[in-house]
């Protein structure tokens, strides 16, 4: 599984990245968690609001910070 957290480097983006890493650990899922802060790459992916969470190249969330439990639930359904 590949999980991308996209953001500008703001506190909310970093919080989503940390929450995502914590959720992967808590769920016991093997995944690559990548943080992307290159605005050109983010725009090319069509993301209009950050922070954004992309799981296996599908947009899972945009414009808000998900809690660890929300991410665990989201990943468990994959």
Q: Could you report the per-residue pLDDT of 41-59, keeping only the tens digit for each?
A: 999 999 999 999 999 999 9
> Tens digit of pLDDT for each residue in 2-44?
999 999 999 999 999 999 999 999 999 999 999 999 999 999 9
Which pLDDT score, from 0 to 100, does residue 31 have? 95
Beta bridge partners of 2: 32
Q: What number of helices (H) and strands (E) belong to the chain?
A: 3, 4
Contact 10, 16 (CB under 8 A): no
In the CATH scheme, what is the homologous superfamily, with its name and number, of domain 2-76? Answer: Glutaredoxin (3.40.30.10)
Beta bridge partners of 52: 6, 62
Which pLDDT score, from 0 to 100, does residue 4 have? 98
Which pLDDT score, from 0 to 100, does residue 28 have? 94
Q: How far apart are CA 56 and CA 3, in angstroms?
A: 6
Runs of H (alpha helix) within 1-78? 11-27, 39-44, 68-76
């Amino acid at each position: 599984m590949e999980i991308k957290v996209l953001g500008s480097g703001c506190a909310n983006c970093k919080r989503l990245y940390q929450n995502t890493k914590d959720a992967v650990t808590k769920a016991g899922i093997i995944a690559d968690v990548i943080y992307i802060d290159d605005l050109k790459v983010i725009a090319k992916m069509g993301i209009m609001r950050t922070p954004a969470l992309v799981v296996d190249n599908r947009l899972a969330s945009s414009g808000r910070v998900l809690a660890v439990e929300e991410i665990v639930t989201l990943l468990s359904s994959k």
